[in-house]
Amino acid sequence: MTAPSRRSLARYGADQLLGGAKVSEVAKELASAMVASGRQTTAALLVADIMRELEDRGVMARVNLTSAKALPAKLSQQISDYAKRAAKVDDVILNQQLDPALIGGVRIETANRSWDFTVAKKIDDMRKVF
């Protein structure tokens, strides 16, 4: 019998979570499947697949917010609201991180989409035009 694909495991995990199953139980099941098929090293990818599945279904999205400087809470909320509308999900989980190399602006990433409004990107685009 062939091992289930990561995509089908992700779908199963999303189904279970949306069905109200406990996160720990779902995690155990998925972990067993991964170990049984010798794919324990790709667990992080499976989590990303599940997030992608949840986003596709419009349930929720994990938003990685990267900026050069710390953002005020109000602005973070505005960005979160924007990401919710843009990804067409009911809820978002915001994850903020700093990267001074971006110089200014913000980069917003979900499982399926990304928006780069950083100064570094603009300068890079300018460099490419030359």
- Binding residues for another protein, rule: CB under 8 A, are 67-72, 75, 78-79, 82, 85-86, 103-106, 115, 117, 119-120, 123-124, 126-127, 129-130
CA diameter of the chain:
55
Place of tokens 């978002």: 92
CA distance 117 to 130: 20
Q: Of 42 and 76, which CB lies nearer to another protein in the complex structure? A: 76
Give the shortest CB-24-to-another protein separation in angstroms: 36
Q: Of 26 and 108, which CB lies nearer to another protein in the complex structure? A: 108
Q: What 3-state class would DSSP assign to 67?
A: strand
Q: Of 48 and 86, which CB lies nearer to another protein in the complex structure? A: 86
CA distance 60 to 39: 26
